[in-house]
């Protein structure tokens, strides 16, 4: 059940170690900052090409950096090794790394489909499974995956991305009992349009529509997503498992 407010409630994650993938920029960097603010020690993970930006985020949050492509077969092993040698146990895993390769269905080819599925859904599934199998997680592990409203309602030009994010939602719902068995939880957040590098090249008209639909009348910010995740990994959210929390500033149907 939900925990009591801890004595040090302003830093509810004190003593916990969090891995955040895709942490070099955008939503992932903001998740790293927010969990660090709440007391967690953060391991910031991103691809080697993001090295400098990744190091900067790791320094800013007084955590550590791990250069790793999450689709590597040995990704979970590398995460475990890094955490064990530097920080001890692993408590929180935030699967934030994700990619877009938008194409209309007529132009959707295996090379635009496969990488999106590999990064967005297969990697979180394999890493979570390996960490659970290997007993690599602390006593009350919390896992949060980045889904998307595109995975709930679909979006033109995003058959690959929408399928991957719908897959994330299915995975989260189906693995809730496994996490519960391990004393923890797994949940997803489904952001709507958030202003980051990922969405910077989306055509202007679409951005304007997204801003208007948001109840705050502006594009969603990485911070909106990071705060929702901070709740899901907090001691107070122990009773929330297998859920999808939309962070889209509107009462979206679907």
Which positions touch ligand NAD (CB under 6 A)? 21-22, 24-28, 46-47, 50, 69-71, 96-99, 119, 146, 148, 191, 193-194, 196-199
State in angstroms the smallest separation of the CB of 16 from ligand NAD: 21
- Residue nearer to ligand NAD on the CB measure, 91 or 224: 224
| Separation of alpha carbons 177 and 183, rounded Å | 10
| Look-up of token digits 């659970």 | 132
- Residue nearer to ligand NAD on the CB measure, 46 or 91: 46
- What does the H/E/C string look like for 50-110? HHHHHHHHHHHCCCEEEECCCCCCCHHHHHHHHHHHHCCCEEEEEECCCCCCCECHHHCCH
**Residue 141: alpha-carbon gap to chain centroid:** 15
Strands (E), 147-238: 185-191
Contact 42/16 with Cβ under 8 angstroms? no
DSSP3 helix / strand / coil % (the chain, rounded to 5): 45, 20, 35
- Residue nearer to ligand NAD on the CB measure, 95 or 182: 95
| Separation of alpha carbons 138 and 184, rounded Å | 9
Contact 13/40 with Cβ under 8 angstroms? yes
State in angstroms the smallest separation of the CB of 90 from ligand NAD: 17
- Residue nearer to ligand NAD on the CB measure, 163 or 182: 163
**Residue 5: alpha-carbon gap to chain centroid:** 25
Closest CA to 227 of 169, 144, 165: 144
State in angstroms the smallest separation of the CB of 142 from ligand NAD: 17
State in angstroms the smallest separation of the CB of 196 from ligand NAD: 3
- Which of 158, 161, 165, 168 does the annotation list as catalytic? 161
State in angstroms the smallest separation of the CB of 101 from ligand NAD: 11
* 3-class state of residue 41 by DSSP: strand
State in angstroms the smallest separation of the CB of 71 from ligand NAD: 5
* Annotated catalytic residue 161: yes
- Residue nearer to ligand NAD on the CB measure, 90 or 182: 90
Contact 94/128 with Cβ under 8 angstroms? no
* Active-site amino acid positions: 161
């Amino acid at each position: 059940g939900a925990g009591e407010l801890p004595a040090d409630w302003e830093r509810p994650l004190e003593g916990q170690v969090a891995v955040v993938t895709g942490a070099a920029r955008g939503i992932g960097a903001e998740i790293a900052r927010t969990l660090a603010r709440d007391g967690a020690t953060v391991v910031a993970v991103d691809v080697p090409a993001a090295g400098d930006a990744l190091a900067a985020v790791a320094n800013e949050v007084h955590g550590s950096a791990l250069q790793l492509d999450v689709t590597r077969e040995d990704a979970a092993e590398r995460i475990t090794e890094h955490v064990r040698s530097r920080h001890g146990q692993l408590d929180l895993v935030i699967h934030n790394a994700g990619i877009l390769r938008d194409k209309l269905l007529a132009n959707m080819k295996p090379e635009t489909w496969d990488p999106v599925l590999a990064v967005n859904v297969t990697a979180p599934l394999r890493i979570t499974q390996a960490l659970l199998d290997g007993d690599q997680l602390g006593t009350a592990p919390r896992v949060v995956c980045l889904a998307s409203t595109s995975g709930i309602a679909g979006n033109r030009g995003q058959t690959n991305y929408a399928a991957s994010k719908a897959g994330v939602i299915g995975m989260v719902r189906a693995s809730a009992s496994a996490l519960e068995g391990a004393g923890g939880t797994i949940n997803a957040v489904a952001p709507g349009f958030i202003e980051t590098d990922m969405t910077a090249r989306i055509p202007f008209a679409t951005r304007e529509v997204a801003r208007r639909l948001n109840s705050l009348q502006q594009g969603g910010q990485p911070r909106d997503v990071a705060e929702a995740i901070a709740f899901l990994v907090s001691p107070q959210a122990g009773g929330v498992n297998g859920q999808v929390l939309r962070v889209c500033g509107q009462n979206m149907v679907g």
